[in-house]
Amino acid sequence: MKKTLVTGGAGFLGSHLCDKLIERGDDVLCIDNFFTGSKENISHLIGHKSFELMRHDVTFPLYVEVERIFNLACPASPIHYRHDPVQTTKTSVHGAINMLGLAKRTKARILQASTSEVYGDPDVHPQPESYWGRVNTIGIRSCYDEGKRCAETLFFDYYRQHQLEIKVMRIFNTYGPRMHPNDGRVVSNFIVQALKGENITIYGDGQQTRSFCYVDDLIDGMVTFMDSAADFTGPVNIGNPGEFTMLELAENVLHLVGGKSKLSFHDLPQDDPKQRQPDIALAKSALNWEPKVCLKDGLKETVSYFRKTLKLG
Ligand code: NAD
Ligand code: UDP
Ligand code: UDP
């Protein structure tokens, strides 16, 4: 039974990861400060003999005995990470230092939930791991982007300096059940708006693109990466290469939900990337991983989740 720590375990991705780890027999310690996560996401695990929940903020040291660490703690949606940008940078940077210090002392293997945001507004498309990115250091997204970039630097310095077993995973836009209904991310916004019959809010002209990965595929990639050979550090892109404009996403959602929603156009937020698509050649060759769930099927699951939890439609 592996003793596994999941930071940010009460969040969207973290809670699905806890489910997967429990299912395969790990002994899971979930820590979270509940900034964006919720007890509801993990309520079904409370009382399970292999699951323990602790309220803790990763910007403070943590002394526990573990063999594996998945470091997911960090607000991920623009609304949330901009709410307290200084805390966002602290969470990424101090959080990484503390979790790396813990990994160093316990000799635990540690995985960092990094992000496609390290590529910024990319001028190389699709984005391979070798691309260094195009990121504004002083904009409103910088607390998140630069925090995550600095965390990657720390991971590789602990690897070189202290021979830690690290895994750096660059996660591209992921969606599915347990997304926060009000975190402003595009998939949850469009679905909730369509279910309520409200206007679908398109930022800019809606021609910007994203590539959306269903949560089950993402978690499968995360666990496979953690279990991979010790010398495979990444960084590795995990995401679904299917690329859509925001107008196409809106059409897909409206088609599934039905109803009378219209599109309404709003200003594009500062530094909003124009295009994003993962190059997943490395994940395919090194991990034998690729996503299986197409956008239509993933959206169906997500729509029925929001229908049920928000009692809509
Ligand atoms: P989320 O907001 O649902 O989860 C983050 C969790 O971290 C929450 O439970 C939150 O309460 C917790 N948290 C925040 N600050 C903390 C702190 N200082 N100490 C302890 N806990 C803290 O977001 P998510 O989508 O589940 O994202 C999880 C991770 O994956 C994040 O690191 C995010 O940057 C990364 N990621 C997600 C996506 C995506 O599309 N969902 C894309 C790229 C990267
Ligand atoms: N740390 C922690 N748990 C541990 C060991 C370390 O939270 O079990 C934190 C501690 O706050 C420390 C940081 O991780 O400052 C970095 O640890 P490291 O050993 O790299 O550096 P140092 O202790 O020399 O600052
Ligand atoms: N977006 C949109 N309408 C919304 C929310 C987001 O058009 O109601 C756009 C946003 O401007 C961006 C894309 O959708 O171009 C993805 O936004 P999200 O916040 O989900 O993720 P990120 O920008 O971090 O990839």
Determine which residue's CA is closest to atom 4 belonging to ligand 1. 11
Q: Rounded to an integer, what distance in angstroms lies between the CA atom of residue 90 and that of residue 74?
A: 9
144 is known as an active-site residue: yes
Distance 7 CA to ligand 1 centre (A): 9
Tokens of 307: 């229908």
Q: Is residue 228 classed as helix, strand or coil in its secondary structure?
A: coil
Ordered per-residue pLDDT tens for the chain, 313 residues: 899 999 999 999 999 999 999 999 999 999 999 999 999 999 999 999 999 999 999 999 999 999 999 999 999 999 999 999 999 999 999 999 999 999 999 999 999 999 999 999 999 999 999 999 999 999 999 999 999 999 999 999 999 999 999 999 999 999 999 999 998 999 999 999 999 999 999 999 999 999 999 999 999 999 999 999 999 999 999 999 999 999 999 999 999 999 899 999 999 999 999 999 999 999 999 999 999 999 999 999 999 999 999 887 5
> Any idea which residue has 């995360």 for tokens?
222
Q: Report the predicted TM-score, pTM, of the whole model to 2 decimal places.
A: 0.98
Q: What are the CA-CA distances from residue 25 to residues 9, 22, 215 (Å)?
A: 17, 5, 20
- Of the residues 63, 119, 131, 144, only one is catalytic, namely 144
Ligand 1 binding residues, C-beta < 6 A: 7-8, 10-14, 32-37, 57-59, 72-76, 91, 95, 113, 115, 171, 173-174, 180
The pairing of strands 209-211 and 243-245 is antiparallel
Best probe residue, ligand 3, of 82, 185, 274, 277 (max atoms within 8 Å of C-beta): 185
Q: What are the CA-CA distances from residue 263 to residues 118, 187, 240, 299 (Å)?
A: 30, 14, 26, 19
Query: What ligand 3 atom has the least distance to the C-alpha of 193?
Result: 8
